[in-house]
Amino acid sequence: MTHLPVLQGKVIIRALALLGYKESRQRGSHIRLDCPGRKSVTVPNHIVGRGLLRKILRDARITVEEFNELLK
- Contacts of residue 66, Cβ cutoff 8 Å, sequence gap at least 6: none
Residue 1 binned pLDDT confidence (cut-offs 50, 70, 90): low
Type of residue found at 18:
L
What confidence tens digit (pLDDT) does each residue in 13-32 have? 999 999 999 999 999 999 99
Element (H, E) at 23: strand 22-27
pTM: 0.90
Distance CA 13, CA 9 (A): 6
User: Which architecture does CATH list for 7-71?
Assistant: 2-Layer Sandwich (3.30)
Please say whether the beta carbons of 48 and 56 come within 8 A: yes
Residue 2 binned pLDDT confidence (cut-offs 50, 70, 90): confident
Q: How far is CA 21 from CA 1, 2, 3, 14, 62, in A?
A: 26, 23, 23, 9, 12
